[in-house]
Chain A
Amino acid sequence: MTIIARDHQTDRFTSAVSENSPILSVRDLRVHFPIKRGFIVQREVARVRAVDGISFDIYPGETLGLVGESGSGKTTVAKAVIQLTKADVGNVKFEGQELVGMSTPAMRPIRRKIGMVFQDPYGSLNPRMRAGDIIGEPLKVHHLVESRENYQNQVASLLSTVGLSPAMAERYPNEFSGGQRQRLGVARAIAAGPSMLILDEAVSALDVSIQAQVLNLLQDLQEKYNLAYLFIAHDLSVVRHISHRVAVMYLGRIVETADSKDMYENPLHPYTQALLSAVPTPNPIHERSRERIILRGDLPSPIDPPSGCRFHTRCPIATDLCSGTDPHLRTLAPNQLAACLLASGYSEAKGV
């Protein structure tokens, strides 16, 4: 599954297309969490198949949106990429280096190149550290400063890069608003000069007016530093806005992946179609006229996923075939892959 980054939004990503080797390449990644029982002798009684064989590439300067509902495994993917969670099977190649199985000291220089921004700007900043020290810590850890003056200059410049005043370096996190805290989180993530950011629900907790500001900031930074983004979110409108390509996850698998424009204009997998039809838009005429695909029931347990296609228990078009055969991602349209036995190219696809 290799899709070249396309510049459907602007020309500024053409540079990404010319450097046509991916910055991150994930192959058949599997992360299973054992469930153990027993007091003294623990034995494994079941496994949570959080991530169950997924593959994707991200190119320099490109955003891959990873969407899915809670429990789909998207955060586990992020953790497995930076080796905070051990993958059971699979490969994670970053800038050509294999990360799976790498020792902690060997990982350290890699972590400099991959920044992370988390959902909760309250929980992810140490309340006892000044903003300047929070941002400056990566500079110290990775020995990127020559002198005290140089350190302070770098911190000040990072603060202004994310739209905060350099004078705020002296403040503590509780003196910042939610939006400002998330800007701090972004400043910390870019401090050590990464080439990729993993953004795990980075704007989900923010009020819409602040969310828009942070999204614009992320786009500016991507342009400025040619950053690759793995943008994990459940909000499909936000993902369309920021992503060049999108991968939809369901129960630990990618069920559809395509260029953002194609995915949103012509979703091919019935799950993607249902997801898109469930996204509310602030337009009463559009909302009242369109048909919603209401999915039955809840997400099944990843401990014991349904046989065959994992979506068949909730799928509006499932047939007997679907409970028996597990579909693989296949190319159904140019640059568009879906894992569905029944989906077929654009002719029958439903628009949203």
Chain B
Amino acid sequence: MTVDLSVKPLPLLRVRDLRTSFNTPEGKVTAVNGISFDMNHGETLGLVGESGCGKSVSALSIMRLVPNPPGVIECGEVLFEGNDLLKISEREMQLVRGVGIGMIFQEPMSSLNPVLTIGRQITEPLEVHLGLTGTAAENRAAELLEMVGIADSRRRLTDHPHELSGGQRQRVMIAIALSCEPKLLIADEATTALDVTIQAQILELMKNLTTQLGTALLIITHNLGVVARYADRLNVMYAGKIRESGTAEEVYLRPSHPYTVGLLNSVPRLDRPASERLDPIVGEIPDPASLPAGCAFHPRCRWSTSKCGLEDPVLERIQDRQMVACFEAESVARASGLTLY
């Protein structure tokens, strides 16, 4: 995929051919196998896939948080506001984390320090990055807590994480992640551990805050439903690669990769009449240490031909902004357009 830089202004985040692998006793596992995507200022992008598809490792690679060893970012570019994050020093990277990019993880209990008050944990980035101390930092922290919807915020600053509920902890995580007003917020399965009513609260909160602040939002999730309401665009990953991308409408309403179609048919849906049987994808997610040859999805694919076992298709544009890595994309799109809508 070649991009003409002279025409378009540089996006906020540009990932090119990112490849991250892990050395395991079973051999080298390439968790992220050459992914490329762009994110514009203020845009909400969904990165969707099942466990082991490489979505979290992609985020960790962007943040340069992949544990090394065993993980190695082998190649690629992560251009954030034009700077390649894979080339800058660790010191500069620390500035990017927090001021440039904020991140929220799935488990707020293990992301927060259990022995520090939440006030201390919110003021820390303010002190390090913005030089705020004392009362000024405390005032800002209380403001941030209020912003994420925690009532009686000044008193709650002295609470420890265990005194908060799961939803409140995730609110604190959002407050910390947004404390230095980053340009990009990465939410890695941030609502997965929460109950549906709390999940709805947190998603609305993240979307509202990022819209207010003009922050771009990267939502990483295994739940296609979670991002449908919020994402402008979507990347669907399988076995380390992006298999389909496009606007939410394109991907949800006219899925054109057999894996996306399979995912959408696997979940019982409240927006449709109750069905008798689900139509799941056959087989299991492949072992990342020994992926099938050709297209990694072909052993589970009902559209696969002999070509699919030999050659790995690359992402190609099939309409407007929709890109699909499948030799049979045209027929899949035609079929899914008919069966789904």
Whether B228 pairs with A284 at a CB distance below 8 angstroms is yes
Residue of B nearest to A274 (CB): B197
Please tell me if A112 contacts chain B, counting CB pairs below 8 Å: no
- Chain B residues closer than 8 Å to A41, beta-carbon distance: none
Binary CB contact string for chain B from 261 to 281 against chain A (1 if under 8 A, 0 otherwise): 011111111110011111111
Chain A to chain B: the 6 pairs with minimum beta-carbon distance, closest first: A280-B225, A212-B280, A241-B268, A287-B229, A69-B195, A278-B200
Instruction: Give the interface residue-count category, chain B.
Output: 35 or more
Please tell me if B224 contacts chain A, counting CB pairs below 8 Å: yes
Question: CA separation between A9 and B274, bound complex, in Å?
Answer: 8
Question: CA separation between A237 and B268, bound complex, in Å?
Answer: 5
Please tell me if A295 contacts chain B, counting CB pairs below 8 Å: yes
Within 8 A of A (CB), among B59-75: none
Residue of A nearest to B224 (CB): A282
* Given A209-B285, A210-B284, A236-B196; A298-B168 close (CB under 8 Å): yes
Question: CA separation between A87 and B45, bound complex, in Å?
Answer: 49
Whether A208 pairs with B252 at a CB distance below 8 angstroms is no
Whether A70 pairs with B253 at a CB distance below 8 angstroms is no
Whether B271 pairs with A283 at a CB distance below 8 angstroms is yes
Whether A209 pairs with B275 at a CB distance below 8 angstroms is no
Please tell me if B199 contacts chain A, counting CB pairs below 8 Å: yes
Whether A298 pairs with B228 at a CB distance below 8 angstroms is no
What is the distance, in angstroms, from B334's C-beta to the closest C-beta of chain A?
A: 20
Whether A294 pairs with B270 at a CB distance below 8 angstroms is no
CB within 8 Å of A: which residues of B?
50-51, 165-168, 195-201, 203-204, 222-226, 228-229, 231, 248-249, 252-253, 262-271, 274-282, 284-285
- Chain B residues closer than 8 Å to A241, beta-carbon distance: 268, 274-275, 278
Question: CA separation between A275 and B231, bound complex, in Å?
Answer: 22
Whether A240 pairs with B228 at a CB distance below 8 angstroms is no
- Chain A residues closer than 8 Å to B165, beta-carbon distance: 298-299
Whether B271 pairs with A261 at a CB distance below 8 angstroms is no
A-B contact pairs, 9 of them (CB 8 A): A207-B51, A211-B280, A216-B278, A236-B270, A237-B225, A278-B197, A281-B225, A282-B267, A298-B167
Question: CA separation between A284 and B228, bound complex, in Å?
Answer: 5
Whether B196 pairs with A234 at a CB distance below 8 angstroms is yes
* Given A208-B50, A283-B252, A283-B271; A292-B228 close (CB under 8 Å): no
Question: CA separation between A310 and B264, bound complex, in Å?
Answer: 37
* Given A9-B274, A210-B284; A284-B248 close (CB under 8 Å): yes
Whether A284 pairs with B50 at a CB distance below 8 angstroms is no
Whether A209 pairs with B270 at a CB distance below 8 angstroms is no
Residue of A nearest to B234 (CB): A284
- Chain B residues closer than 8 Å to A260, beta-carbon distance: 274
Whether A295 pairs with B280 at a CB distance below 8 angstroms is no
6 additional contacts (CB under 8 A) given A9-B274, A207-B222: A213-B282, A283-B271, A284-B228, A284-B248, A292-B200, A299-B165
- Chain B residues closer than 8 Å to A295, beta-carbon distance: 197, 200-201
Binary CB contact string for chain A from 275 to 311 against chain B (1 if under 8 A, 0 otherwise): 1111111111111100010110011000000000000
Residue of B nearest to A288 (CB): B229
Residue of B nearest to A284 (CB): B248
- Chain B residues closer than 8 Å to A157, beta-carbon distance: none
Question: CA separation between A16 and B325, bound complex, in Å?
Answer: 48
Question: CA separation between A299 and B168, bound complex, in Å?
Answer: 12
Whether A208 pairs with B271 at a CB distance below 8 angstroms is no
What is the distance, in angstroms, from B91's C-beta to the closest C-beta of chain A?
A: 39
Identify which of A212, A279, A280, A285 gathers the most chain B CB atoms within 10 Å of its CB. Answer: A280
Question: CA separation between A282 and B165, bound complex, in Å?
Answer: 28
Whether A286 pairs with B195 at a CB distance below 8 angstroms is no
Whether B200 pairs with A219 at a CB distance below 8 angstroms is no
Question: CA separation between A267 and B168, bound complex, in Å?
Answer: 28
Please tell me if A160 contacts chain B, counting CB pairs below 8 Å: no
Please tell me if A179 contacts chain B, counting CB pairs below 8 Å: yes
Question: CA separation between A122 and B28, bound complex, in Å?
Answer: 25
Whether B228 pairs with A215 at a CB distance below 8 angstroms is no
- Chain A residues closer than 8 Å to B270, beta-carbon distance: 236-237, 240, 264, 276, 279, 281, 352
* Given A209-B50, A240-B270; A282-B285 close (CB under 8 Å): no
* Given A212-B267, A237-B270, A279-B270; A69-B197 close (CB under 8 Å): yes
Question: CA separation between A208 and B236, bound complex, in Å?
Answer: 14
Residue of B nearest to A239 (CB): B268
Residue of B nearest to A208 (CB): B266
- Chain B residues closer than 8 Å to A236, beta-carbon distance: 196, 270
Question: CA separation between A286 and B282, bound complex, in Å?
Answer: 28
Whether A208 pairs with B269 at a CB distance below 8 angstroms is no
Question: CA separation between A216 and B268, bound complex, in Å?
Answer: 11
* Given A209-B262, A282-B267; A294-B284 close (CB under 8 Å): no
Question: CA separation between A144 and B333, bound complex, in Å?
Answer: 52
- Chain A residues closer than 8 Å to B252, beta-carbon distance: 282-284
* Given A281-B269, A282-B267; A209-B281 close (CB under 8 Å): yes
Question: CA separation between A212 and B264, bound complex, in Å?
Answer: 11
Residue of B nearest to A278 (CB): B200
Question: CA separation between A70 and B200, bound complex, in Å?
Answer: 15
